[in-house]
Amino acid sequence: MIDVKALRENPDLVRASQKARGENPDLVDQALAADEKRRNAIVEFEALRAEQNTLSKSVGAAKGDEKAALLEKAKSLSAAVKEAESKKNSTEADFKKIAMEISNLVDTSAPVGGEADFKVIEEVGIPRKFDFEPKDHVELGKILGAIDVERGAKVSGARFYYLTGVGALLELALVNYAITMATKAGFIPMIPPVLVKPAAMEGTGFLGQAAENVFHLKEDDFYLVGTSEVPLAAYHMDEILDAKSLPLRYTGYSPCFRREAGSYGKDTRGIIRVHQFEKVEMFSFCVPEQAVAEHQRLLAWEKDFLNAMEIPYRVIDVATGDLGSSANRKFDCEAWIPTQNAYREVTSTSNCSEFQARRLNVRTKGESGTYPVATLNGTLVAVPRMIVSILENHQQADGSVLVPKALQPFLGMDRFTPVG
């Protein structure tokens, strides 16, 4: 949620942020008007309640006709207090509804523009030049007995798949390597719930712009998470964290579910864009002044993972119009996919500053009182896209695939070979 103080004191900054995102700047004026109504209603309610308290003391000291008159006044005043309280609650709800629609303030260092206006920060590794025609991951998956999209579609529909044989083993190796790496770096490993209440989904910002991509179980009012960022962020909901314990870092392994409602016709072949997949996510709670440095640390861990996979990749600074509502800055790592002759996103890390913490009521305590923490998240490995990257970049002319050295201890082999 946007900082109310910033909204009141610097509305032009909030308007500029909304414009940079390509979102509605008029929400700022709507929120300011609703805030004024809310504050007036609070003043009115508190004044009436103070009058009621004073009157109650007078009633206790009065006698006879005076007491009867005061009791009659108290009855009337009680009705006015209830009406004022109802008005206060209504205006507070109106303000919150509008304020929750305003996205996080963008970092002024982020490039301004839409999806294509990112800035390339660095390129790591050189895309391989093949002396044979490289196969895509779908064909390699068949040859190796690793991926079965046909039966996935038969059983569940488009954008579903089976990982079989070495494909399943590769997923387990990737997850184990990621969890081992994160644990060594001081993260607390978690397997979180993937069905969450509306408060968790709304608090992390996934019921706004991203709502169309969320699976909702209407009968039970549960949401299937699209990332373990959601349950990890909500883990300390309505809590005050000990400042001495920060940063608190968790790594969550979970299945993820996405409707991909806005991607009709995109990546229909293979397992690059699917409805269900596994992911290892990093999540950090820290004091706000540490957030920028913590963001760089998350990015460094993502790069360490990709370096261990021995694949070429680049790091981009995501443009303001592609940040999503919660992040004020985001870095994506994109792996080189040979058969697409393009870089594709495989990991992402976002600095959400205090935006999610305000919505989830996660605070810490300092000399000036309690205040929201900063939250940050970063993908260590999204399994399907990493499998695509490994198979395509490490394939050999005979259809075999070399296993990255970092994964060999988890797989007990250095090469995947064709089956049959």
- Please list the active-site residues: 258, 273, 345, 348, 385
Please state at what angle helix 137-144 crosses helix 166-184, rounded to 10 degrees: 110
Question: Rounded to an integer, what distance in angstroms lies between the CA atom of residue 195 and that of residue 230?
Answer: 10
Q: Cα separations (Å) of 1 from 70, 96, 141, 203, 268?
A: 45, 9, 44, 8, 35
**8 Å CB contact between 337 and 344:** yes
| Diameter of the chain measured on Cα atoms | 106
Three-class SS state of 251: strand
Neighbour tally for 126: CB within 10 Å = 8
Q: How far apart are CA 127 and CA 124, in angstroms?
A: 9
Burial of 186 (0-12, 13-18, 19+ CB in 10 A): exposed
Which of 260, 304, 330 lies closest to 111, judged by CA? 330
Rounded CA gap, 403 and 189, in Å?
25
SS3 state at 82: helix
Across 289-314, b (16+ Cβ under 10 Å) vs e yields: ebbbebbebbbebbbebbeebbbbbb
Closest CA to 317 of 293, 335, 333: 333
What is the distance between the alpha carbons of residues 361 and 378, in angstroms, rounded to a whole number? 21
* Residue 321 φ/ψ region, left for φ over 0, alpha for ψ in the -120 to 50 degree band, beta for the rest: alpha
Specify the 3-state DSSP secondary structure of 349: strand
Nearest to 259 by CA among 220, 221, 216: 216
Q: Identify whether 193 is preceded by a cis peptide bond (ω within 30 of 0).
A: no
Strands, sheet with 239-241, edge to edge from the N-terminal-most edge strand: 239-241, 362-366, 369-372
DSSP designation for 217: E
For 32, the enclosing helix (H) or strand (E) is helix 26-61
